[in-house]
Amino acid sequence: MNLIQIGFLSLALLALADGYLLSSGGGFGGISSIFSILLIFLVIAAVARRSKNCPANYIPIPNDQGSCISFVTSPTKNFDDALAACESEGGRLLRLSTATFPLIQELAQNRSGTCSYWVGTNEGPDDGTDSMWVDVDGGPIPTTPGLFFFDSTNSIPNECGLMSNSQSFLLLGETCTVAHCYICEKNI
């Protein structure tokens, strides 16, 4: 039950109680109590609009008004299977953003364990060469010095983006067939 539903239920119960007490000679003060109850409901509704109702196992992305993320640690999957797992839940692998990436890094660093996480980026078209990094939807990845770190000088073609725990959760290119933890994102 979300906060808006709780607010409606509280309003209905208080209105019923007020009506019962008025009919039995008691009461909360009649009309003024109904306005008080309405004010309480409006405060609850305003708080509910500002808070996120993320699905189970998801947390809100700080400073982001419409997304929740889930750090999936078990079972580990290769990139394509992680992508499919997120999509099967109505989400996607985490999209990279210069605004939210430092916050995601901090969340990853605060988690215990040894996971490195797949995110929604790879080396573009499957042409067998090192190429430009793109979002899994095909859009370009923002390039901010010191924020994203891709080792595109190696000879591994068609790498996928991994937030590596051995590199303070900066992004590295990794062979897409290796199993890792992953981060799913959902819009709410």
Q: Tell me: the pLDDT tens digits for 87-134?
A: 999 999 998 877 788 889 999 999 878 899 999 988 766 555 556 778
Q: Do residue 151 and residue 92 come from a single domain?
A: yes
pLDDT of residue 97: 79
Q: Output the pLDDT for position 77.
A: 98
Q: What is the mean pLDDT of residues 43-51?
A: 42
Q: How far apart are CA 35 and CA 95, in angstroms?
A: 45
Residue 159 sits in a domain of what CATH number?
3.10.100.10
Same structural domain, 19 and 96: no
Please report which confidence band the pLDDT of residue 6 belongs to, taking 50, 70 and 90 as the band edges. very low
* Sign (positive or negative) of CA dihedral 145, 142, 160, 158: negative
> Cα separations (Å) of 37 from 2, 23, 25, 32, 48?
18, 19, 20, 9, 17
> Do residue 117 and residue 25 come from a single domain?
no
| Same domain, residue pair 44 and 86 | no
70 and 119 assigned to the same domain: yes
Asked whether residue 31 falls in the same domain as residue 104, the answer is: no
Among the candidates 32, 50, 68, a domain finishes at 50
CB-based contacts of 187: which residues, under 8 Å, 6+ apart? Answer: 66, 67, 91
Query: Do 179 and 86 belong to one domain?
Result: yes
Give the structural domain span for 101. Answer: 59-187
CB 61 within 8 A of CB 67: yes
Residue holding tokens 């991994």?
162
| Pair (83, 104) in one structural domain | yes
* 99 and 183 assigned to the same domain: yes
> For the whole prediction, is pTM greater than 0.85?
no
Count the domains in the chain. Answer: 2
Average pLDDT over residues 57-86: 92
Q: What percent of the chain has pLDDT over 70?
A: 59
The answer to whether 175 and 76 have CB atoms below 8 angstroms apart is no
**Residue 20, SS3 per DSSP:** helix
